[in-house]
Structure 1
Amino acid sequence: MTSNIITLSVKPRGKPIKGLPEEIEIAQGGSSAELYQALSSKSRFPLHRLRITKGIDGSYILNSKDITIDHTGLREQSVIYVKDLGPQIVWRTAFIIEYIGPLLIHPLVYFLRPYIYNTNEPPSELQTLSLILITVHFLKRELETLFVHRFSLATMPIFNIFKNSFHYWALAGVNIAYWIYAPSSPAARPSNPAITYPAVALYITSQACSFSTHLTLRNLRSPGSTKRGIPTGFGFGLVTCPNYLFETLAWVAIWLVTWSLSTGVLLLTAVVQMALWAKKKEIKYRKDFPGKYRKKRYSMIPGLF
């Protein structure tokens, strides 16, 4: 691999970045992460607010220790564009904020039932079970965020946290909690063991399978690396994103316990969003690993999509 020093022409894209140099020297054998770091140091601008694209075709240059400058196709006097992505937030922090909403809201509404609904009726078995299932679900997500997940990108735009939090705090939190813990909720009725027991079994199985797929995805990437791999093993031979499949099944189980329209709305919204993500992931696998990746007919739910 060549380690020649080349000079790149640097141009801003969009809002000007004060201190951004017009040119920068970099070793062809160096990594794209070194290019990001050099531009950040010279401009004294936060590293994770920078996005670099190639002038020749506008393709994105990933901030990675595993990608060399030579591999990106940049050569002497190649033009690169540098964009300010705006204020950023760490992905792990964003996930923690998103999931903490329903994790706090559900117990709060459950234990404040007498004051919220002006009732002295104790919660039903199904309402208590709903609280347990939903709380465990989001507690699992928080723990996976802290100890399992490895992220390909370090940060996301800080404004996205408000959009994402609406889904979790409003739809999964307030909207579901208010309706399922109400005295008039379908979950306030006596449970039907023929439905409840299979639903709980489906929930436990789905959560265990979900955890297994998350471990598989974690092991594809070593700590600090952004290098991608092809996931294999349990579930991945069936669909592109079995983690989304098991997430869907877990919420189907919760819906069968709560029998609430609000839970159904969240389930439908989540399925549509995950289906879009899964389709994009399938396309990306085919693009990044031509000849190596075994194409899937279904990206998320076998027989459907």
Structure 2
Amino acid sequence: MLIAYIPAFLAGVASFVLYPQENIRILLLCSALTIHFFKRIFEVLFVHNYSGGMILDSVLAISLSYFLSTATVTYAQYLTQGFPEPSVDLKYLGCLLFLIGISGNFYHHYLLSKIRSKGDKDYKIPKGGLFGLVICPHYLFEIVGFVGISLISQTLYAFSFTIGSALYLIGRSCATGRWYLSKFDHFPKNVKALIPFVL
């Protein structure tokens, strides 16, 4: 997974050098994306317990996707330099949502890492946090973080990236929900896939 995240992290770091930080919005955007992928690298090294590996083709495709997304979102923001700021400034609300998203995502990843003892490969039903309400709260908070990034940026490109990411994570959450229902006979039927009481 380090192969998947390091190029995007480096694209975030490079954005501080490549694009003059002429206003606070581009600084906040570059910071949020860099922090997002730094957190992912930190989790790979110190938090996650993986049950298996990934096919190299998949890892390379994911890595390229994350890298290109980070590079193009920051570049699109750079291209807005010199244009008037949006009439409604949402960047600080975006920062708040980003911090909520990244914190909630990290917390639920931590809970997931604790459901298996060392060397245990058996699947278990996660507990704690929002796991009693939704199957994938870590995806829910990741979407909240991406919405925050979009509000920091306030570009159509960043919003498009967030919509695409959200649709992908909704699909993964629903598939995970079906998997849990098929794997565990006693899995509670009222637990939603992603959004408490809704989806």
Relative to the length of structure 2, the TM-score reads 0.89
Structure 1 residue aligned with 2:188, among 291, 294, 297? 294
Matched, 1:249 2:144: yes
RMSD in angstroms over aligned alpha carbons?
2.2
Structure 2 residue aligned with 1:166, among 38, 45, 64? 64
Matching of residues 13-92 of structure 1 within 5 Å: none
Per the TM alignment, residue 144 of structure 1 is displaced from its structure 2 partner at its CA by 0.5
Structure 1 CA distance, aligned partners of 2:87 and 2:39?
25
Per the TM alignment, residue 218 of structure 1 is displaced from its structure 2 partner at its CA by 0.6
1:277/1:197 CA distance change after superposition, 3 Å: same
Of the structure 1 ranges 130-139 and 99-108, higher mean CA displacement relative to structure 2 is found in: 99-108
Alignment deviations for residues 141-193 of structure 1 (CA, whole Å, 9 cap, x no partner): 1101111011111x22111122212220112x22112111234477x738966
Larger gyration radius, structure 1 or structure 2: 1
Matched, 1:142 2:51: no
Which residue identity is paired with 1:135? T
Matched, 1:220 2:115: yes
Which residue identity is paired with 1:159? D
Moved runs in structure 1, 4+ residues, more than 4 A? 190-193
Which residue pairs with 1:76 in the alignment? none
Structure 1 unpaired stretches of 5+: 1-94, 115-121
Which residue pairs with 1:275 in the alignment? 170
Contact 1:213/1:243 (CA < 8 Å) preserved in 2? yes
Contact 2:132/2:191 (CA < 8 Å) preserved in 1? no
Which residue pairs with 1:207 in the alignment? 102
Structure 2 CA distance, aligned partners of 1:259 and 1:190?
8
Per the TM alignment, residue 107 of structure 1 is displaced from its structure 2 partner at its CA by 2.9
1:191/1:136 CA distance change after superposition, 3 Å: farther
Relative to the length of structure 1, the TM-score reads 0.60
Matched, 1:189 2:85: yes
Structure 1 CA distance, aligned partners of 2:50 and 2:152?
33
Which residue identity is paired with 2:23? S
Higher relative contact order (CA closer than 8 Å, sequence separation 6+): 2
Structure 2 CA distance, aligned partners of 1:149 and 1:126?
32
3-state SS of the aligned residue for 1:231? Answer: coil
1:214/1:302 CA distance change after superposition, 3 Å: same
Structure 2 CA distance, aligned partners of 1:201 and 1:159?
36
Matched, 1:125 2:30: no
Per the TM alignment, residue 202 of structure 1 is displaced from its structure 2 partner at its CA by 1.8
Structure 2 CA distance, aligned partners of 1:297 and 1:137?
28
Structure 1 CA distance, aligned partners of 2:137 and 2:143?
10
Alignment deviations for residues 95-119 of structure 1 (CA, whole Å, 9 cap, x no partner): 21221122111232332236xxxxx
More strand by share: 1
Of the structure 1 ranges 282-291 and 242-251, higher mean CA displacement relative to structure 2 is found in: 282-291
Contact 2:12/2:30 (CA < 8 Å) preserved in 1? yes
Structure 2 CA distance, aligned partners of 1:108 and 1:247?
23
Structure 2 CA distance, aligned partners of 1:300 and 1:263?
22
Which residue identity is paired with 2:115? L
Structure 2 CA distance, aligned partners of 1:198 and 1:268?
18
1:192/1:128 CA distance change after superposition, 3 Å: farther
Per the TM alignment, residue 247 of structure 1 is displaced from its structure 2 partner at its CA by 0.1
Which residue identity is paired with 2:9? L
